[in-house]
Structure 1
Amino acid sequence: MAFSEVRKREFIDETFRLLSGTLGASRLVFYSVDDNNNLHNFVCSRVPSEFLKIYIREMHAHDPLHVRQIEHEQNPVVKMTDARRYAPESEVALYRQFLDVFKVSNTIELIFQRDRQIYAGISVMWTADDSMPTDEQFHLADTLHPYIAFNLKEVLPTPKAVVTQKANALLHLTQREAEVARLLCCGRTNADIAQCLGIGLATVKTHLIHIFDKAGVDNRAALVSRMMQFG
């Protein structure tokens, strides 16, 4: 496992212990969020495997606190008790039935943003065996969020897509040049790029000359390194 992944897992485990200890919740889920607001890379603590399977397969579409529902919410800590603000009553009722099956009595979401886009979140779940959360504990979640958010940015690197987008803008690449650069950074050969984009090999070489010139480099390895400097 790469060192960065070890750091990430250690941080998540420490955060789980912090939230569980202060909020009295026994089940927690960390997840990453892609550019299309899909959840992935789940890390769970004391969450039944069947719960996660059903959630990923179907119930995510009915979750009133899914990032698609709350992406414009200003408060980074969102409560299930406010679910009707984000989804129709029928969807809220259906999702609550799902939670009831797994003895989840309450839940909140801690949402983390980078450049105004959600990139990660933590679900905090109280079960029937936990004490019901109090207003004081909800306030604690609000208080802890900035601390977790600050440290999470240090542990979770900027997604490659964001790095690429920033690099394209700063290097003033055209749309076609950006497509060529993306494929090159994925290890594609000139012939691969020509086939993927439906253009001639000579056109690919011309684009590469322009890209190298704008990036101030003279070979592929140097371009990849230059692109990643914008992370």
Structure 2
Amino acid sequence: MDNDFGLQCLLAFSRVVPASFLAFYQVDSRLQARDFRLLRMDARTHRDYLCHYREFDPLQPALCVDSGRPVLPLHDAMTRQPREQRQVYQGFLQRHGICDVVEVIARDQGRPVAGVSLLRTVELGRFATRELDCLQGLQGLLELAARHAPGARETVANPLANLTAREQEIALLLREGQTNKDLARQLDLSLATVKTHLIHLFRKTGARSRTELVRRLFP
């Protein structure tokens, strides 16, 4: 799917249901949102979300799939979330003046392929029931359009595919912030062996730091 398709989706949604900010994204094979297209959203807000709060978002594609609902309001999603995570995410929303969010997910053969986030500041207030009903109708159109969009059937590259099983284990633990000693203990390896695996990971990805390595393997 190209950026023009994403922008057209956002413009169509914004004409039917008013929103302060909107974001279109594709969903990869690991149910992660990627290739965002933003409308009226400050780049700093989006960067703050990606760098610090994505993991606390109760409207992530994987969690929307678990809910079984293609249109999911923030309030309903938060009821399924642990209290500590909910408080962290609420802090992010309040800092950026966001009072309500609705997620709309499009599927192809049962798998999520794209989504639209509609966010409101206090000036617009929360989404009304009639507006959620409108989004239910738009969801069907989004789903149909996403199936026929340019590049919709392209296979999403998995950065982990070129790694060995052991390297994938290490990569997943690195994403959790584990130290070399933690890796050695959890995987029953020597520190020297852990360092060797890390060298291989840096070479394969071209990363120069652990932070960059995680970012490249889990975009």
TM (norm. structure 2) is 0.66
1:122-171 deviations in whole A, cap 9, x for unaligned? 11101122243211111110111101110121114213259xxxxxxxxx
Q: 1:145 aligns with which of 119, 139, 148?
A: 139
Could you say which structure has the larger radius of gyration? Answer: 1
Which residue among 55, 70, 79 is the counterpart of 1:76? 70
CA distance in 1, matches of 2:123, 2:89: 20
Paired residues for 1:107-146 under 5 Å: 107-146=101-140
In 1, the alpha carbon distance for the partners of 2:53 and 2:84 equals 13
Shift of the alpha carbon at 1:26? 2.0
Q: CA deviation at 1:66?
A: 0.8
Change (3 A) 1:119 1:95: same
Match of 2:56 in 1: 62
Residue 39 of structure 1 aligns with an amino acid whose one-letter code is A
Contact 2:28–2:156 (Cα < 8 Å) also in 1: no
Q: Which sections of structure 1, spanning at least 5 residues, go unmatched?
A: 163-231
1:48-107 alpha-carbon deviations (Å, 9 max, x no partner) = 111111111121110011122222222200110102343112212211110111111100
* Count of equivalent residues: 156
In 1, the alpha carbon distance for the partners of 2:116 and 2:100 equals 14
CA 1:132–1:69: 2 relative to 1, 3 Å: closer
- The answer for the alignment partner of 1:157 in structure 2 is 152
Match of 1:13 in 2: 7
**SS at the partner of 1:65?**
coil
Return closer, same or farther for 1:161/1:9 CA change in 2, 3 Å cut-off: closer
d(CA) in 2 for partners of 1:85, 1:130: 23
Amino acid at match of 1:17: L
Please tell me whether the aligned partners of residues 69 and 86 of structure 1 are also in contact (alpha carbons under 8 angstroms).
no
Question: Is the contact made by 2:59 and 2:103 (CA closer than 8 Å) also made in structure 1?
Answer: yes
Taking the aligned partners of 2:125 and 2:82, their CA distance within structure 1 comes to 28
Matched residue type, 1:159: E
Corresponding residue of 1:51: 45
Match of 2:212 in 1: none
CA distance in 2, matches of 1:148, 1:39: 16
Identity of aligned residues (%): 19
CA contact (8 A) 1:65 1:86 kept: no
Instruction: Kindly provide the amino acid, as one letter, of the partner of residue 153 in structure 2.
Output: T
TM-score by length of 1: 0.63
